């Protein structure tokens, strides 16, 4: 993200959440490491650095309210987030983005900065889904619609029409590990990963990369179907290599035009 922003001439400043960001990754750029609950400190640092545009990126485990320990400004901002703090991730993130906007920042989606990582519709690998896999993708999309309506998760694994696992708070990799232990004999299943219907695309945009491909292979899957134009493909070259090595197909599709 920082490289992509800098390539367009934007100065970069990173507020890294303590315990989540890797210092070796962000070390080349101006940054400060701040604990999550210090919202007042975070906003002050952004203003001191002259930040106007923000991008929220990277995985974060949602803390309990007891662990959050908000500072004085954080208590005020938390009050403005309101009941969304106790709801699903999508509702909470939408409320956080709203408050950041009210504080005078313009929040951009990752896809608006790393434009080359957003993949158009089509098959990215030499092999694609057969009829069984196509049916699994269609079944997975129906599950994603239901998950999204309940603000639960963005992914599921389907094999031969059976839903082996759905993503909740544990994330995609942990879900894939569970799915591997539940695999049935016969043709392997498919990972289906889409943004939740109605999700604010400026936060928690689905992403897949070489690690996702390898985790899917370990789970005994045959392919990954993800949202065209709405999923970040991290390190496209390494992802393509991993797909060739594992025989996993990669299909960028849409809710409307999927099999």
pLDDT at 169: 78
Domain boundaries, the chain: 2-108, 115-253
Q: What is the pLDDT of residue 259?
A: 47
Q: Bridge partners of 141?
A: none
The arrangement of secondary structure in 115-253, i.e. its CATH architecture, is 3-Layer(aba) Sandwich (3.40)
From the number of C-beta atoms within 10 Å of its C-beta (0-12, 13-18, 19+), residue 55 rates as buried
What pLDDT is recorded for position 133? 97
Q: What pTM was computed for the model?
A: 0.76
Fold of the domain built from segment(s) 2-108:
Rossmann fold (3.40.50)
Distance CA 123, CA 259 (A): 13
Residue 188, CB-side half-sphere exposure with 13 Å CA sphere? 20
Mean pLDDT by 10 residues, the chain (259 residues): 89 92 90 89 93 86 68 77 62 78 89 80 94 96 85 89 91 92 94 81 81 96 92 87 96 74
Place of tokens 């619609």: 145
Dihedral in degrees, nearest 10, Cα atoms 169, 173, 177, 183: 100
**Residue 68: both structure tokens together:** 């959050």
SS (H, E, C) 97-116: HHHHHHCCCEEECHHHCCHH
Per-residue confidence (pLDDT) for residue 142, from 0 to 100: 93
């Amino acid at each position: 993200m920082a490289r992509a922003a800098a390539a367009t001439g934007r100065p970069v400043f990173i507020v890294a959440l303590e315990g989540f960001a890797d210092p070796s990754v962000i070390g080349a750029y101006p940054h400060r490491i701040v604990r999550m609950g210090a919202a007042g400190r975070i906003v002050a640092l952004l203003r001191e650095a002259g930040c106007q545009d923000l991008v929220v990126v990277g995985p974060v485990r949602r803390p309990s309210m007891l662990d959050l320990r908000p500072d004085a400004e954080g208590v005020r901002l938390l009050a403005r987030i309101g009941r969304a703090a106790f709801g699903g991730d999508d509702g909470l993130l939408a409320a956080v983005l709203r408050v950041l906007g009210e504080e005078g920042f313009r929040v951009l989606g990752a896809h608006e900065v790393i434009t080359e990582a957003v993949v158009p519709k089509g098959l990215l690998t030499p092999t694609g889904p057969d009829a069984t896999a196509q049916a699994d993708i269609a079944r997975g999309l129906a599950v994603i619609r239901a998950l999204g309506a309940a603000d639960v998760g963005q992914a599921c694994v389907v094999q031969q029409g059976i839903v082996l696992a759905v993503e909740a708070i544990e994330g995609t990799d942990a879900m894939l590990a569970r799915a591997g232990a539940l695999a049935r004999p016969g043709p392997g299943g498919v990972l289906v990963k889409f943004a939740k219907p109605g999700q604010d695309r400026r936060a928690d945009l689905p992403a897949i990369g070489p690690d996702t491909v390898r985790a899917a292979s370990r789970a005994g899957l045959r392919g990954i179907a993800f949202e065209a134009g709405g999923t970040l493909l991290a390190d496209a070259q390494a992802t393509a290599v991993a797909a060739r090595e594992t025989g996993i197909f990669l299909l960028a599709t849409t809710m409307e035009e999927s099999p």
